[in-house]
Chains A and B, each alone.
Chain A
């Protein structure tokens, strides 16, 4: 049996948008039989304390993740490239959101 499909329904990942204009953030996961029920369960489980204004639910199966084995090839090469960080610029006065 697939790990994401059992008697509780399939596994879904929940993403919550806290406010307009900012990205959805991963909040957690849950079990549900289908998209509508996943949406409702996400509303009940993850937005009880005013956490958000919008919800995405995605079947966990649909997420392709990098493997821990890939981490050397994927991420280490970025270690010695500090010039990629925008830290060599002077921030003009008055710029609030950078």
Chain B
């Protein structure tokens, strides 16, 4: 792969792996949500993200041109080869933790895919076109929940604030860029991450304020996903996700 293709491949992993982890995390809720309506909503969103994963990893495999498939990429890499944002691999916790994680990521993806729809790369434009409608709905769903649990009862407010405090340090990692990203930006393939971050910060602050939640004062931010440095949670997820392919290589149905 030349430099530009390598950069595109990295981008597809970045976005595709994030969607894969969130999709898996949300699927863990299947049969466990507090009401059946939300159970269906979370699994709908999960499937949207898995669909997005398929599009992105299929494209990644195509760029890589080594005869691999989306499944090879999803199920046969090791933890340090994943490029998903740290936020997306964080555990579900209680419903408030899940919704807060979802809100912080949806606020990002909603802006990002809208901007990626302007990409000079036709395939990415197509993928973004479909994703932007889905993520617009996801953002509406999670932000409405944040308003209700943040500005709900004393207990729901405390749990929402705790969830926000725990997840906040993973938010800067969402906007991390490297030399690959710079090259894509130069070729007008991706949006300027600085602008996305600026808008994200505004949107998130406005919802949190209305939800009577405070943005954590701690400025410590954990990064590293672009270099494949993950939190300990990813390994456990992969163990479960990859079990079948590892135990029965090349199995299919």
Contact = CB atoms under 8 A, between A and B. Distances in A.
B144 interface: yes
Q: Could you tell me the dominant secondary structure of chain B's interface residues?
A: helix
Smallest CB-CB A-B distances: 9 pairs:
A41-B37, A44-B41, A8-B35, A44-B40, A30-B37, A44-B44, A45-B40, A40-B141, A31-B35
The interface size bin for chain A is 10 to 19
B217 to A, nearest CB: 31
Nearest to A37: B144
Contacts of B148: 33, 37
B37 A32 contact: yes
B37 A36 contact: no
A11 to B, nearest CB: 11
16 contacts: A9-B35, A31-B35, A31-B37, A32-B37, A33-B148, A37-B144, A37-B148, A40-B140, A40-B144, A41-B37, A41-B38, A41-B40, A43-B137, A44-B41, A45-B37, A48-B40
A47 B140 CA distance: 17
Nearest to B140: A40
Contacts of B37: 30-32, 41, 44-45
Contacts of A33: 148
Contacts of B137: 43
Nearest to A40: B141
A9 B152 CA distance: 13
Interface in A1-19: 8-9
A5 B45 CA distance: 27
Nearest to B148: A33
A63 B38 CA distance: 25
Interface string A24-42: 0000001111001100110
Nearest to A32: B37
